[in-house]
């Protein structure tokens, strides 16, 4: 009976709390250390470790459904025991030169990451915290911060208080507990990082489709078929989410925009400049194909791409 109960519970596992994004802050190292491994306590093969209470910070990088993410690159940077960063404008000047201050770790299939560091020191205006960036190829990166449960300054910290959702806020405040077997008072902190939906994962909505018969016409005359160098209109459905013409801000270094609001078109595998987008029409000057092509363009040489949606025939 009880095992059946737990089976059912597993099926209705609690929804994971997405790790909230937080500011990167001003102290991402402006000169990265040569040693960027996951042991911040020792720089290269120095025999002098950093000063401070040693802490093992570990956890898993998970997707929204709780599956571990392989190949996630986790970066951390933090103040040393005195509150100083590896930064030329560090709020505390007297830096511990034996503290690496920054580290990187790439997850394997378990999604686990691990750092050896020190409990972050305090500097004016903030509670103790560790900065983190998680980069997964093909996803938008997450920038966040990790906190120490029980710190009196947590209640008055502006960045932490800025997380409005209570569950999301408490998810970034974890216990840093003493490791019982440690003779030197090491701490361990577990922090699972849950990534949310990304543009690639987002509900796709309707795919763009190019109208079969009137797909490509001369933009001026609305006649089917178009010669190289002419303007063309592409008709269809769901071609774009917005309606607008290019403006001065879209033209950078004298180059016409290759996309407007994330909508792009290729013709014969060559990117076309985008002059106008709407859900049902895109206008573009045809790219210079360099050929003497005089046949009609068809939908089969067109590729319309929107964020997370694309069409080809
Ligand atoms: Fe900071």
Residue 154's φ and ψ, nearest 5 degrees, are: -55, -40
Answer left, alpha or beta for residue 261, where phi above 0 means left and psi between -120 and 50 means alpha.
left
pLDDT above 70: residue 135: yes
Q: So what's the pLDDT on residue 13? A: 45
Confidence of residue 265 (pLDDT cuts 50, 70, 90): confident
CA of 60 to the centre of ligand 1 (A): 22
pLDDT of 221-254, one tens digit each? 555 555 545 667 788 888 887 788 888 888 887 7
pTM above 0.85, yes or no: no
Q: So what's the pLDDT on residue 149? A: 98
Confidence of residue 60 (pLDDT cuts 50, 70, 90): very high
Least confident range from 121-125, 254-258, 295-299: namely: 295-299
Question: 200-312 has which CATH code?
Answer: 2.60.40
CA of 17 to the centre of ligand 1 (A): 23
CA of 186 to the centre of ligand 1 (A): 22
Q: Quick one: DSSP state of residue 43? A: -
Q: When comparing pLDDT for 113 and 240, which is higher?
A: 113
Residue 310's φ and ψ, nearest 5 degrees, are: -150, 160
CA distance 159 to 171: 14
Question: 54-194 has which CATH code?
Answer: 2.60.130.10
CA of 137 to the centre of ligand 1 (A): 26
Burial of 304 (0-12, 13-18, 19+ CB in 10 A): buried
> Averaged over 130-146, what is the pLDDT?
92
Q: In sequence order, what are the beta bridge partners of 217?
A: 224, 233
pLDDT above 50: residue 6: no
CA of 178 to the centre of ligand 1 (A): 24
CA distance 264 to 274: 7
Q: So what's the pLDDT on residue 8? A: 36
CA of 111 to the centre of ligand 1 (A): 25
Residue 3's φ and ψ, nearest 5 degrees, are: -65, -35
CA of 173 to the centre of ligand 1 (A): 15
Residue 2's φ and ψ, nearest 5 degrees, are: -70, -35
pLDDT above 60: residue 72: yes
pLDDT of 186-204, one tens digit each? 999 999 999 986 544 444 4
Q: Which helix (H) or strand (E) holds 189?
A: strand 187-190
The contacts of residue 111 (CB under 8 Å, 6+ apart) are: 60, 61, 62, 67, 68, 69, 70, 72
Q: When comparing pLDDT for 227 and 127, which is higher?
A: 127
CA of 193 to the centre of ligand 1 (A): 19
pLDDT above 60: residue 287: no
Residue 103's φ and ψ, nearest 5 degrees, are: -155, 165
> Averaged over 125-136, what is the pLDDT?
97
Handedness of CA 47, 49, 54, 57 (dihedral sign): negative
CA of 82 to the centre of ligand 1 (A): 13
Cβ contact 29:89 at 8 Å:
no
* Domain spans of the chain, in order of start: 54-194, 200-312
Q: So what's the pLDDT on residue 243? A: 87
Q: Which of 9-13, 167-171, 269-273 has the highest mean predicted lDDT (pLDDT)?
A: 167-171
């Amino acid at each position: 009976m009880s095992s059946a109960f737990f089976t059912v519970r597993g099926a209705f596992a609690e929804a994971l709390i997405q790790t909230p994004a937080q500011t990167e802050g001003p102290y991402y190292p402006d000169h990265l250390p040569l040693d960027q491994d996951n042991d911040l306590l020792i720089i290269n093969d120095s025999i002098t470790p950093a000063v401070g209470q040693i802490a093992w910070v570990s956890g898993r990088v998970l997707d929204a459904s709780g599956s571990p993410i392989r190949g996630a690159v986790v970066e951390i940077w933090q103040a040393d025991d005195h509150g100083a960063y590896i930064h030329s404008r560090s709020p505390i000047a007297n830096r511990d030169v034996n503290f690496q201050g920054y580290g990187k770790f790439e997850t394997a299939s378990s999604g686990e990451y691990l750092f050896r560091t020190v409990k972050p020191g305090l500097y004016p205006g903030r509670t103790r915290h560790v900065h983190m960036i998680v980069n997964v190829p093909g996803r938008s990166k997450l920038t966040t911060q990790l906190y120490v449960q029980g710190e009196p300054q947590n209640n008055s910290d502006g960045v932490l208080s800025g997380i409005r959702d209570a569950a999301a806020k408490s998810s970034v405040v974890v216990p840093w507990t003493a490791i019982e077997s440690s003779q030197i008072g090491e701490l361990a902190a577990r922090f699972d990082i849950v990534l949310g939906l990304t543009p690639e994962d987002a509900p796709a909505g309707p795919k763009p489709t190019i109208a079969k018969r009137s797909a490509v016409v001369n933009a001026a005359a609305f006649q089917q078929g178009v010669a190289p160098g002419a303007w063309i209109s592409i008709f269809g459905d769901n071609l774009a989410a917005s309606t607008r013409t290019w403006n001065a801000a879209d033209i950078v270094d004298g180059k016409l925009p290759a996309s407007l609001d994330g909508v792009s078109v290729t013709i014969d595998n060559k990117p076309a400049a985008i002059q106008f987008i709407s859900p049902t029409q895109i206008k573009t000057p045809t790219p210079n194909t360099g050929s003497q092509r005089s046949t009609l363009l068809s939908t089969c040489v067109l590729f319309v791409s929107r964020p997370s949606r694309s069409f080809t025939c």
